[in-house]
Amino acid sequence: MNQSADTPPKLRIRGLSKAFGKNKVLRGLDLDVAAGESLVVIGGSGSGKSVLLKCILGLLPPDEGSIQIDGREIVGLGGAELEEARRRIGMLFQNAALFDSLPVWQNVAFVPLAQKRMSRKEARSLALERLADVGLDAEVADLAPAELSGGMRKRVALARAIAVHPEILFFDEPTTGLDPIMGDLIDRLIRSCVTHLGATSLTITHDMDSARRISDRIAMLYQGKIVWQGPMERIDEEKNAVVQQFVSGSTEGPIQVTL
Amino acid sequence: MVVPLLTPLGRAFLAFLETVGRLTLFTGSTLWHCVRGPWYFRMIGRQMIEIGYYSLPVVALTAIFTGMVLALQSYTGFARFSAESAIPNVVVVSITRELGPVLAGLMVAGRIGAAMAAEIGTMRVTEQIDALVTLSTNPFKYLVVPRVLAGVTMLPILVLIADIIGILGGYLVSTTQLGFNQQAYLQNTWDFMEFEDVFSGLVKASVFGFLIALMGCYHGYHSRGGAQGVGTATTNAVVSASILILSFNYLITGLFFG
Ligand SMILES: Nc1ncnc2c1ncn2[C@@H]1O[C@H](COP(=O)(O)OP(=O)(O)O)[C@@H](O)[C@H]1O
Ligand SMILES: [Mg+2]
């Protein structure tokens, strides 16, 4: 990376491995994300993209390897220290993962409500602000998540993720399951939220159009490793056969399509 | 010859050990977070209403029919020995010691244990539990502790109500159908009522409440594999809670009266 040696990247991953029984999902993955950049990791379905994010969040324990945030190791942390590290990360889950027992506004203001950091009235007005940030008006605030469309759920989940002002944002397939127009809208929202917060973002997707819209830099995950990474503009001229095949969406090439 | 037989046996044994270990860890974490705050009082209140208030009709119906059938059944038996006067005694002892807590426990296990496993299981498979963690909220404190605390406190109250309604059921049948004097029946009931009987029943109820909530949460928390996994978790929660209720009932009876 073109980083000066004394400022560590926001996120540094080295030799990350994770297996489920015989299924070796990550096999010594190395990845850096610089502060303030938007990195997109692309890879096929089931290639371990979600597992990568879950390892960083400490939702899954890695088998081996190191993960550092601002130069501080977080693998093996527990209790308060792990909480502290997690507090700096916001996550948008693939299927939004809204709490369906709570109305929309309580989802968005979940953290201040749970930690009793503000009155319910203040929390509600904070939720309405964040909903406005993602283009939703006050009418949805009292709906249940089950009453929302897919695109609205994603937007509410985005509002919930940015409500705590994280320094790092993870997006797990933000456009999957949306129509192209809604997908475009969500991508724009993501870009503007990330820019507005000055956050570092790591997005994983298999949607090339989405990757082009969101990324400063792209990395390709294949067989448990990052096989290529570079600026978004360079991906179309890339000679790497795996990348070429993925970008063109062809069944011919080194990537085995198993049905 | 032997090896093909031993392999599945060994595998089953390992799976059993894994389950025991996981359950022990889960119980330990639950107890640890129960005594260590912060507590989500709003969630505790919500669960108390869910368990205590909404289970009342089921428990009341179970209790009244149990009391009624107890009186009827003991009358047909005792009349042969002219021992009908023992009916108030039989009703009050069986209801307070055994039938009140066990039947209320089993009914609540079906109602609440299943609901807990389904709700938490759905939260697991839709990544809501992961989302909780990323929002700096401990799922044990937010989901498990409120349910367990509500179970431990609400079941004794439900059983106390079941005791009263069950005895009332026996009283109604005895005085309207079996020709008992109302005054005498009540007097007898009161004379035979022992503090220890009622108390042991309430202790049982509290333990059952713990077991129901623990099983509901445990099976929900560890469910996997979409809707089918949640279905399995629900069944397992009810079955395991019911079996635990019956076996702990025996143990506690042994402790109090053995
Ligand atoms: N909790 C888990 N237990 C067992 N296997 C898992 C688990 N999570 C993911 N896997 C496996 O890891 C592989 C990668 O999954 P995932 O990261 O979800 O893929 P994707 O790149 O589509 O997000 C899959 O083969 C999946 O079956
Ligand atoms: Mg995924």
Show Cβ contacts of residue A252 under 8 Å, excluding neighbours closer than 6 positions: A245
- CA distance linking residue A208 with residue A124, whole number of Å: 37
Amino acid at A20: F
Q: Which structure tokens are listed for B182? A: 């109302």
From the CA of A25, how far away is ligand 1's center (Å)?
A: 7
Q: Across the A/B interface, how many CB contacts are shorter than 8 Å?
A: 50
Per-residue pLDDT, B85: 81
Residue A11 CA, chain-centre distance (Å), reads 13
Residue B54 lies in a domain: yes
Identify whether the C-beta of residue A158 lies closer than 8 Å to the C-beta of residue A92: yes
Q: Which domain holds residue B230?
A: 41-257
The arithmetic mean of pLDDT across residues A62-71, rounded, is: 92
Q: Which residue's CA is minimally distant from atom 25 of ligand 1?
A: A46
Q: Averaged in consecutive runs of 10 residues, what is the pLDDT profile of chain B (258 residues)?
A: 77 90 95 91 95 95 96 87 84 94 96 96 95 93 97 97 96 92 91 92 96 97 92 96 97 91
Per-residue pLDDT, A1: 46
Identify whether the C-beta of residue B52 lies closer than 8 Å to the C-beta of residue B154: yes
Per-residue pLDDT, A258: 64
Residue B20 lies in a domain: no
- CA distance linking residue B150 with residue B169, whole number of Å: 28
Instruction: Using alpha carbons, select from A160, A136, A164, A162 the residue that is nearest to residue A148.
Output: A136
The number of folded domains in chain B is 1
pTM of the model: 0.90
Identify whether the C-beta of residue A99 lies closer than 8 Å to the C-beta of residue A139: no
Q: What is the pLDDT of residues A220-258, one digit of tens each?
A: 999 999 998 989 888 888 788 888 888 888 787 788 766
CB contact under 8 A, B134 and A160: no
Residue B26 lies in a domain: no
The arithmetic mean of pLDDT across residues A104-112, rounded, is: 95
From the CA of B225, how far away is ligand 2's center (Å)?
A: 14
Per-residue pLDDT, A147: 95
Q: What is the pLDDT of residues A132-161, one digit of tens each?
A: 989 899 999 999 999 999 899 999 999 999
Q: What is the pLDDT of residues B203-235, one digit of tens each?
A: 999 999 999 999 999 999 999 888 999 999 999
Identify whether the C-beta of residue B121 lies closer than 8 Å to the C-beta of residue B229: yes
State the complex-level ipTM: 0.90
Show Cβ contacts of residue B161 under 8 Å, excluding neighbours closer than 6 positions: B56, B59, B60, B63
- Which chain A residues are Cβ-neighbours of B127 within 8 angstroms? 93-95, 97
Residue B6 lies in a domain: no
Residue B74 lies in a domain: yes
Identify whether the C-beta of residue A16 lies closer than 8 Å to the C-beta of residue A53: no
Residue B1 lies in a domain: no
- CA distance linking residue A161 with residue A153, whole number of Å: 12
- CA distance linking residue B58 with residue A76, whole number of Å: 48
